[in-house]
Amino acid sequence: MAFSFLDMDRVLSETFVARAEYHPTLGSTNDRARQWAEQGAGALPLLVVADVQAAGRGRGGHRWWTGQGSLAFSVLLDPGQAAVGPGGQSPLVALAAAVAVVEAVAPLVGSHAVGIHWPNDVMAAGRKLAGVLVEVLPDGRHVVGIGVNVNNRLAEAPPEVRRVATTLRELTGVAHDRTAILVAVLQHLEAGLGQLASEPGRIGTSADALCRQRGRLLTLDRGGESVTGRCAGIAPDGALLLVTRDGRQAFYWGMLK
């Protein structure tokens, strides 16, 4: 089962998505979801899935490699479905997505430790298993893009990806059902977004429990200015907590070096 087809009927019937679109190849599912948003989009959440992305995007202008056998998808949500306050800088939606991925894959990987690197990486056995790219549109709609390395082959990946990434197949030695994983991620995402609306602190707390950076010295690039500190976890409001020479500080955005 190196490459299994996605059962979109199952995805539609078992998850909260109202509409779904599948592409064998696409530039970027986030770009496609944004296109839909510009055209009005219709019923939400809208799911866009691609087997292969020619121009998958990561945070900070990085590329996201999407080899055959991986999962790449984006969910377009209206502001009520991504219940965060105005401003769009909250890391909580990205953390809710990362927590959802951890919850979906943890039962599959046996004793391998799965966790989060703030604000958007899912790590397994110390390597990157999945990434999340949340983009907030001017009207408050959110595009939540998620890439999971499932059955794709790292031997086909660019060297910079091979150095840091892992896949579910590499971790377990067997191929996995991508539909089941997509359904599980979407179900956990729905639950997480529900928590954001009812008890926002819970997502931050769940992310904190999964944080694999605690105790590490981290440097955060904040648009030209760098801040270095020892990671003290993730706050209930989603901020990265660093103990710097000025004391304990909370950061809501920035790129970790």
- Contact footprint for ligand BTN (CB under 6 A): 28-30, 53, 56-59, 62, 64, 72-74, 120-121, 131-133, 145-147
- For residue 169 the two structure tokens come to 């197949």
Distances (CA, A) of 48 to 33, 125, 213: 6, 29, 31
Q: Strands of the chain (E only): list them.
A: 19-26, 46-53, 71-77, 114-117, 121-124, 127-136, 142-148, 217-222, 225-234, 240-244, 247-251, 255-256
Q: How far is the CB of 213 from ligand BTN (least distance, A)?
A: 15
28 vs 195, beta carbon nearer ligand BTN? 28
84 vs 132, beta carbon nearer ligand BTN? 132
54 vs 250, beta carbon nearer ligand BTN? 54
Q: How far is the CB of 45 from ligand BTN (least distance, A)?
A: 15
- For residue 175 the two structure tokens come to 């191929």
* Cα dihedral 179, 182, 184, 190 sign: negative
Give residue number: closest CB to ligand BTN: 131
Q: How far is the CB of 248 from ligand BTN (least distance, A)?
A: 26
Buried b (16+ CB within 10 A) or exposed e, 124-155: beebbbbbbbbbbbeeebbbbbbbbbbbbebe
62 vs 201, beta carbon nearer ligand BTN? 62
- Closest among 64, 219, 82, 83 to 240, alpha carbons compared: 219
| Rounded-to-integer distance, Cα 140 and Cα 98, Å | 20
Q: How far is the CB of 122 from ligand BTN (least distance, A)?
A: 9
71 vs 108, beta carbon nearer ligand BTN? 71
28 vs 167, beta carbon nearer ligand BTN? 28
| Rounded-to-integer distance, Cα 93 and Cα 204, Å | 10
Q: How far is the CB of 161 from ligand BTN (least distance, A)?
A: 11
Q: How far is the CB of 59 from ligand BTN (least distance, A)?
A: 4
Q: What is the dihedral of CA 130, 250, 134, 185, to 10 degrees?
A: 50
